[in-house]
């Protein structure tokens, strides 16, 4: 088994005691030693270097970065793998701009991440939206059906590619194999936002990985489900349909020219851990999750939403490491549950909506973590620290909004401010995005409706953060007048 090459090289460099007359400005952490603020110094900062001799270059890798990327490609069974230091978002933008020219159309699901919209804007690409299945009662997107993809391809044969979110934030997986077969039958390119699926190749009990299912490009947030540093991601290519040179150009445009070596080292280290111990650790993790689910569900009143519910609402499968906890029947909405776990039991969940709270489990979690979560949930179930009440959850039709202008056109047009409550029928000049998960209800250029207005207000009233609007109080909104 090989060793993490980038980390080893950085450690060797840090031990040389070099005098730094290069960036970064902290000079191997020496200025922190001068102030000694809570001992914030040491090997970590001494490894924060730039493209000095022997350190290779992310934008033209020939040495350790190239070797680390090749090892990652081999592990993920990709033709080529690229390290991303600006998150999965930069990879999504780059892959869109690599396969579509300005003015082209790309089919995307309406529950796509906002970075997809940013890629459409930057590339001057027109989106053709397809509506995913939605479990309206819980406010959860349940993935895209293969027949919806084929219908979109028949109606828009000029589309250059299809982008699929797999899995989504809640761990819900579309039938990616069937979708890949359909897309390639029409000789189109399959792009996959696999931000939450970097761990799928660690167990046969997990959903199939996007590359194995037939994706041409997949972008993964290695920092989300594997032990890389925040912002560190990978882009994998497994297709002759992709112009690699053009992809490299687009990646260079989206990524920093001063890439973090700490982030790259963490990507290499995450790959090493996953390759050497990942299957063993994942097996233990899935066992801990099963035991946890059994413990809390046997108590009654606490529901863990899983495969059965997902399949009943149009999904192919669900990632068991995403734990969706539903206590709405006890009068405990998801946002309240998240706050109670954080403030009373020192447990931070990934996200919450009105109905559920989501726990993201990874190979970094231990059995004690699940014991503490079960203890907190059982105490809350028994009424310790909360008065249970009836919850009235707002329903939303999830109809595709009317797109009056493309996202690109909307960004550059003059905006006028009006009262949010009275904006029905107007063209939005802003995003309306519940966060997390960061999926837009409305994008710039789309028509506001009474339903969108009332639903957005209900979300905010129930503790859901709304981003994308200049006025976060929801009193005003910027619109576009044609």
Return the CATH number of 5-273, one of 3.60.20.10, 3.40.50.800, 3.40.640.10, 3.40.50.11540.
3.40.640.10
Q: What is the pLDDT of residues 396-434, one digit of tens each?
A: 887 889 999 999 999 999 999 999 999 999 999 999 988
Quick one: CA torsion of 424, 426, 428, 433, rounded to 10 degrees?
A: 10
Return the CATH number of 281-381, one of 3.40.1440.10, 1.10.3720.10, 3.90.1150.150, 3.30.360.10.
3.90.1150.150
Least confident piece of the model among 186-200, 366-380, 460-474: 460-474
pLDDT higher at 382 or 446 = 446
For residue 460, what is the enclosing H or E element? helix 450-461
Q: What is the pLDDT of residues 224-261, one digit of tens each?
A: 999 999 999 999 999 999 999 999 999 999 999 999 99
In percent, how much of the chain has pLDDT > 70? 92
Paired with 220 in beta bridges are 234
In percent, how much of the chain has pLDDT > 90? 70
Domain locations in the chain as residue ranges: 5-273, 281-381, 407-480
Cβ atoms 72, 234 nearer than 8 A: yes
Domains 5-273 and 407-480 belong to one CATH topology = no
pLDDT for position 193? 98
Residue 326 has pLDDT above 60, yes or no: yes
Residue 317 has pLDDT above 50, yes or no: yes
Instruction: Measure the CA–CA gap between 235 and 78, rounded to whole angstroms.
Output: 10
Residue 394 has pLDDT above 80, yes or no: no
pLDDT for position 389? 62
Residue 196 has pLDDT above 60, yes or no: yes
pLDDT band at 29 (very low <50, low <70, confident <90, very high): low
pLDDT band at 354 (very low <50, low <70, confident <90, very high): confident
Question: Rounded mean pLDDT of 29-45?
Answer: 64
- Scanning 299-415, the segments in alpha helix (DSSP H) are 307-312, 334-345, 367-381, 407-411
pLDDT band at 23 (very low <50, low <70, confident <90, very high): very low
For residue 274, give every residue at least 6 positions away whose Cβ sits within 8 Å of its Cβ, in sequence order, or none: 75, 199, 202, 226, 363
pLDDT band at 16 (very low <50, low <70, confident <90, very high): confident
Cα of first residue to Cα of last residue in the chain, in angstroms, is 62
Paired with 479 in beta bridges are 416, 428
Topology of domain 407-480, per CATH?
Molybdopterin biosynthesis moea protein, domain 2 (3.90.105)
pLDDT for position 325? 94
Residue 445 has pLDDT above 90, yes or no: yes
- Burial of 132: CB neighbours in 10 Å, binned 0-12, 13-18, 19+: buried
pLDDT higher at 222 or 139 = 222
Q: What is the pLDDT of residues 116-160, one digit of tens each?
A: 999 999 999 999 999 888 887 787 888 899 999 999 999 999 999
In order of 303, 341, 367, the CA distances from 332 in angstroms are 12, 12, 26
105-109/161-165 β-pairing: parallel
Instruction: Measure the CA–CA gap between 235 and 221, rounded to whole angstroms.
Output: 9
pLDDT for position 384? 62
pLDDT for position 202? 97
Residue 396: other Cβ atoms inside 10 A: 17
pLDDT for position 27? 64
Return the DSSP state at 244: H
pLDDT band at 26 (very low <50, low <70, confident <90, very high): low
pLDDT band at 386 (very low <50, low <70, confident <90, very high): low
Question: What is the DSSP annotation of 145-202?
Answer: -HHHHHHHHHH-TT--EEEEESS-TT-EE--HHHHHHHHHHTT-EEEEE-TT-TTGGG
pLDDT band at 39 (very low <50, low <70, confident <90, very high): low
pLDDT for position 328? 87
- Burial of 412: CB neighbours in 10 Å, binned 0-12, 13-18, 19+: exposed
Highest mean pLDDT among 135-139, 246-250, 303-307, 371-375 belongs to: 246-250
Q: Which of 92, 69, 68, 73 is nearest to 219 (CA)?
A: 92
Question: Rounded mean pLDDT of 46-72?
Answer: 94
For residue 281, what is the enclosing H or E element? helix 261-298
pLDDT for position 44? 79
| Crossing angle of helices 87-99 and 244-254, rounded to 10° | 140
Task: Share the mean pLDDT of the chain.
Answer: 90
Instruction: Measure the CA–CA gap between 183 and 146, rounded to whole angstroms.
Output: 9
Highest mean pLDDT among 40-44, 217-221, 264-268 belongs to: 217-221
Instruction: Measure the CA–CA gap between 236 and 187, rounded to whole angstroms.
Output: 20
233-237/356-360 β-pairing: unpaired
Question: Rounded mean pLDDT of 87-103?
Answer: 97
pLDDT higher at 459 or 83 = 83
Residue 77: other Cβ atoms inside 10 A: 12
């Amino acid at each position: 088994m090989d060793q993490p090459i980038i980390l080893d090289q950085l450690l060797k460099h840090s031990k040389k005691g070099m005098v730094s007359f290069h960036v970064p400005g902290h000079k191997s952490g020496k200025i922190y030693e001068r102030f000694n603020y809570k001992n914030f110094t040491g090997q970590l900062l001494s490894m924060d270097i730039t493209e000095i001799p022997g350190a290779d270059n992310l934008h033209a890798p020939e040495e350790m970065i190239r070797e680390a990327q090749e090892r990652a490609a081999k592990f993920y069974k990709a033709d080529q793998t690229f390290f991303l230091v600006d998150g999965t978002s930069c990879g999504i933008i780059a892959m869109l701009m690599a396969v579509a020219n300005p003015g082209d159309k790309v089919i995307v699901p309406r529950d796509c991440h906002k970075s997809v919209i940013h890629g459409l804007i930057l590339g001057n690409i027109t989106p053709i939206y397809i509506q995913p299945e939605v479990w309206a009662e819980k406010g959860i997107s349940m993935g895209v059906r293969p027949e919806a993809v084929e219908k979109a391809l028949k109606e828009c044969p000029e589309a250059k590619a299809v982008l699929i979110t797999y899995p989504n934030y809640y761990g819900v997986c579309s039938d990616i194999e069937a979708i890949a077969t359909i897309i390639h039958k029409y000789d189109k390119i399959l792009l996959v936002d696999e931000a939450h699926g970097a761990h799928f190749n660690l167990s046969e009990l997990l959903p199939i990985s996007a590359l194995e299912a037939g994706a041409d490009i997949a972008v993964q947030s290695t920092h989300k489900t594997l032990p890389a540093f925040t912002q560190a991601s990978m882009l994998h290519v497994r297709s002759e349909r992709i112009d690699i040179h053009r992809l490299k150009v687009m990646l260079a445009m989206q990524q920093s020219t001063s890439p973090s070596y700490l982030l790259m080292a963490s990507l290499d280290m995450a790959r090493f851990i996953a390759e050497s111990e990942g299957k063993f650790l994942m097996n233990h993790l899935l066992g801990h999750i099963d035991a946890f689910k059994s413990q809390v569900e046997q108590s009654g009143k606490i529901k863990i939403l899983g495969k059965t519910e997902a399949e009943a609402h149009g999904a192919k499968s669900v990632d068991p490491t995403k734990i969706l906890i539903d206590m709405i029947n006890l009068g405990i909405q998801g946002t309240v549950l998240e706050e109670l776990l954080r403030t009373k039991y020192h447990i931070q969940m990934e996200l919450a909506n009105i109905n559920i709270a989501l726990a993201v489990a990874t190979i970094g979690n231990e059995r004690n973590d699940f014991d503490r979560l079960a203890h907190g949930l059982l105490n809350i179930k028994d009424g310790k620290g909360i008065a249970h009440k009836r919850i009235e959850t707002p329903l939303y039709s999830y109809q595709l909004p009317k797109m009056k202008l493309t996202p690109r056109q909307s960004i550059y047009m003059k905006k006028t401010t009006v009262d949010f409550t009275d904006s029905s029928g107007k063209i939005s000049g802003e995003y309306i995005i519940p966060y997390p998960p960061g999926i837009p209800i409305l994008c710039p250029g789309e028509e506001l409706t009474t339903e969108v207005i009332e639903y957005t207000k209900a979300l905010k009233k129930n503790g859901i953060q709304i981003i994308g609007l200049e006025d976060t109080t929801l009193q005003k909104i910027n619109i576009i007048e044609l």
